[in-house]
Amino acid sequence: MSDEIRYDFGTGRSDPSTFPVAALQAAATKVIQEQAEALTRYPGNLGHQGLRQAMAEREREREGVTLDPDHILLTNGSMQGVTLTAEALQERQGDTVLIEEHSYPGTLSAYRSLKYDMIGIPLDEGGMRPDAVEQALKRLQGESRLPKFIYTISTYQNPTGFVMPRERRLQIIELAKHYGVPVVEDNCYADVHYDGPVEPACYALDDDPGQIYLCSLSKILAPGLRLGYVYARPPMLQKILARRHDAGSNYLAAAIAAEFYRDGIGAHARVANPVLKEKRDLTLKGLENELGDICVWSEPVGGLFIWVRLPEDVDRPALLDTARAAGVNFLPGQSFHFQSKDVPYLRLAFGHLTLEQIDQGLPILARCIRRCRSSNEARGFDGLF
């Protein structure tokens, strides 16, 4: 990012001030002293056993289910898991996949590189719509090209922040089972929770061996550690492992994280999440003060993102240039659309900004939005869709 960008709402990261420097320094010293010999060997396909055990415990505490650590493979961030599973499930270029109409750009890029035919499923405030999933599955079955899998970010969805209700998760699971299509659930924001009940992960609601679960430490700890994991049971696990050719993930980072999380992941989440919640609240307040008459936005109960709907008459390419010239960065809706359509949305990430940056940056962005409109009319919509 250019030095001229003073207010970067574009990058999804946690708060740097909550990074546990002293605790990780102590963990690193202990690990290097005690595991020096192991560091001279390749970690193997599954990766560091201690971190796999810690992540199994993380899932048990949050989801109330027992995972076999030997069914967890550590990855270089969750994106490696996204790519490995997509490769494992693909038979040929042009295979179809069901994906949320607006989704994570990294996943979209990976699927495009693999030449998947992405079928975008419309969203509402409950996430991926089951009626649209059913229609797509029925149509694709009639065309003899059922999708190789359904990919969903079911909790604190990126970019919208939506949470899929339990009943909807069960509907999609049943549809997937009926048509024999695996579900790939990306849950990398799971522990970044602020308000209300925690909805269960899809895999915790059903023990179908076709389900694949992806998770990460990037959002709750730090993306620079590049630690994620895939949970899958045999024979699906073996299919995914067959696509791995790197001799395993970063052993040192995994060993440090395992030592840090020896007593569970909750303690650090209780430090990090209140700080992020304060930033979310300030961002929502700033949006209401500055754009309440012309925009609508999501109010996420977790995660790092707010999805903003713009008036149709905003010149969106001009807005991006105008905002960046004024020192403000964001990601346009086009970055998240499965077909890269220029849609009237933008995503705001608030996690790594200071409160002062949020407070100062939002009025500048609001002025840029108004400057790039062709009218001064109040908004003609009340919802995000």
In order along its 385 residues, the chain shows pLDDT tens digits of: 445 899 999 998 889 999 999 999 999 999 999 999 998 998 888 999 999 999 999 999 889 999 999 999 999 988 999 999 999 999 999 999 999 999 999 999 999 999 999 999 999 999 999 999 999 999 999 999 999 999 999 999 999 999 999 999 999 999 999 999 999 999 988 899 999 888 999 999 998 888 999 999 888 888 888 899 999 999 999 999 999 998 888 999 999 999 999 888 888 889 999 999 999 999 999 999 999 999 999 999 999 999 999 999 999 999 999 999 999 999 999 999 999 999 999 999 999 999 999 999 999 999 999 999 999 998 989 999 9
Distance from C-alpha of 365 to C-alpha of 363, rounded to nearest angstrom: 5
CA 259 to centroid of chain Cα atoms? 25
The whole-number pLDDT of residue 1 equals 45
Q: What is the CATH number of the domain that holds 227?
A: 3.40.640.10
Domain annotation covers residue 132 = yes
Total domains in the chain come to 2
Question: Is position 312 within any domain?
Answer: yes
**Do 46 and 158 fall within a single domain?**
yes
225 lies in the same domain as 279: no
With respect to residue 30, please indicate whether it lies within any of the assigned structural domains: no
Residues with Cβ within 8 Å of 33's Cβ and at least 6 positions away in sequence, in order, are none
Report whether 7 contacts 327 (CB < 8 A). yes
pLDDT confidence of residue 304? 95
* Claim to verify: residue 102 and residue 231 sit in the same structural domain: yes
- Specify whether 292 is located in the same domain as 235: no
Identify the CA nearest to 7 among candidates 358, 325, 322, 331. 358
Residues 66 and 112 in one domain: yes
Cβ contact 56:211 at 8 Å? no
Instruction: Identify whether 341 is part of a domain.
Output: yes
Q: Are residues 70 and 101 in the same domain?
A: yes
Select from 263, 296, 317 the last residue of a domain. Answer: 263
- Are residues 108 and 200 located together in one domain of the fold? yes
Q: What is the CATH number of the domain that holds 11?
A: 3.90.1150.10
Say what the pTM is: 0.94
Domain-located, residue 31: no
Domain ends where: 199, 233, 263? 263
Same domain, 230 and 363: no
pLDDT at position 326, please?
A: 96
- Give one word for 144, left, alpha or beta, with left for phi > 0 and alpha for psi -120 to 50: left
Last residue of a domain, one of 200, 230, 263: 263
Residues 52 and 201 occupy one common structural domain: yes
Q: Range of 121's domain?
A: 37-263
pLDDT, residue 2, reads: 45
Q: Do 188 and 301 share a structural domain?
A: no
Do residue 301 and residue 219 come from a single domain?
A: no
∠ CA 284-285-287, rounded to 5°:
65
Q: Is residue 194 part of a domain?
A: yes
Residue 11 lies in a domain: yes
The pLDDT assigned to 284 comes to: 98
Between the two ends of the chain, the Cα-to-Cα distance in Å is 31
In a domain, 382, yes or no: no
Same domain, 186 and 306: no
In terms of DSSP bridges, do strands 123-124 and 127-128 run parallel, antiparallel, or are they unpaired?
antiparallel
